């Protein structure tokens, strides 16, 4: 009797998992319609207002991470997706990633659009906010454009009038 109940529970759990995964993993790219320009901080403050909407945000790229991947309520498989962080723009003088904003992008798209991205580059992200799991915004990025490259420090050796040469 217990074996039949355990088997029935296992089958029910497997069916539920496959339904959740197939529903959550529904592709959103390419976007249908025009995305709404929104500040990243507004998405974080009120994620429910943007749920299932196309959004466009700008920010400073920080780094690639694995945050949010393989989380069942907002499932995106780590074999097919990578996530990345942008920096909090309201904080000056320190680099603080906005980890509460989950931005996921397919690995294929990332290879095409983000091959030359560096930490500190200003980017524009177009995507769909597909979940508000954990009270956080989860965005699948369909298009990422580098707006401005990070300024390089001038490490060149000065020459000419700026240099004094001792004989």
Q: Which of 29, 24, 98 is nearest to 57 (CA)?
A: 98
Higher-confidence residue of 11 and 31: namely 31
Three-state DSSP class for residue 157: coil
pLDDT of 101 over the 60 cut: yes
The enclosing domain of 44 has a CATH number of 2.40.50.140
Answer yes or no: is 155 within a domain: no
For residue 1, pLDDT over 60 is answered with: no
Please give the tally of structural domains in the chain: 1
Residues of the domain holding 43: 2-148
What pLDDT does residue 129 have? 96
Residues 25, 21: Cα–Cα separation, whole Å: 6
- pLDDT tier at 153 (50, 70, 90 boundaries)? confident
* pLDDT reading at 15 higher than 80: no
DSSP at 126: E
- The verdict on residue 114 lying in a domain is yes
90 falls within a domain: yes
Residue 3 above 80 pLDDT? Answer: no
Rounded to an integer, what distance in angstroms lies between the CA atom of residue 46 and that of residue 69?
A: 22
For 103, the token pair is 């931005």
Query: Helix or strand or coil: residue 63?
Result: strand
Q: Give the pLDDT score at 4.
A: 56
- For 103, counting Cβ atoms within 10 Å of its Cβ (0-12 exposed, 13-18 middle, 19+ buried), the class is buried
Measuring CA to CA, how many Å separate 63 from each of 36, 67, 83, 153?
24, 11, 9, 19
Question: What band does 40 get if pLDDT is binned at 50, 70 and 90?
Answer: very high
* pLDDT tens profile 104-123: 999 999 999 999 999 999 99
Higher-scoring residue by pLDDT: 87, 9: 87
The mean pLDDT value of the chain amounts to: 83
Q: Which of 142, 144, 111 is nearest to 32 (CA)?
A: 142
How far lies 143's CA from each of 87, 125, 126, in Å?
Answer: 18, 6, 5
Is 160 within a domain?
Answer: no
Residue 41, Cβ density class (10 Å: 0-12 exposed, 13-18 middle, ≥19 buried): middle
Q: How confident is the model at residue 21 (pLDDT cuts 50, 70, 90)?
A: very low
What is the per-residue pLDDT across 54-84, written as a single tens digit (0 to 9) for each?
999 999 999 999 999 999 999 999 999 999 9
Q: Does residue 154 lie in a domain region?
A: no
């Amino acid at each position: 009797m217990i074996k039949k109940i355990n088997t029935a529970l296992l089958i029910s759990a497997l069916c539920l998992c496959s339904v959740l995964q197939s529903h959550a993993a529904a592709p959103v790219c390419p976007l249908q319609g025009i995305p709404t320009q929104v500040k990243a901080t507004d998405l974080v403050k009120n994620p429910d207002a943007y749920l299932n909407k196309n959004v466009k945000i700008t920010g400073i790229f920080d780094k690639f991470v694995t945050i949010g991947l393989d989380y069942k309520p907002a499932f995106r498989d780590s074999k097919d997706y990578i996530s990345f962080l942008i920096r909090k723009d309201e904080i000056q003088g320190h680099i603080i990633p906005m980890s509460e904003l989950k931005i996921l992008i397919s690995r294929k798209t990332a290879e095409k659009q983000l091959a030359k991205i560096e930490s500190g580059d200003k980017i524009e992200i177009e995507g769909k906010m597909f979940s508000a799991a954990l009270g956080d915004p989860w965005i699948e990025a369909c298009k990422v454009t580098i707006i401005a490259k990070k300024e390089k420090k001038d490490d060149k050796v000065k020459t000419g009038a700026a240099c004094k040469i001792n004989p």
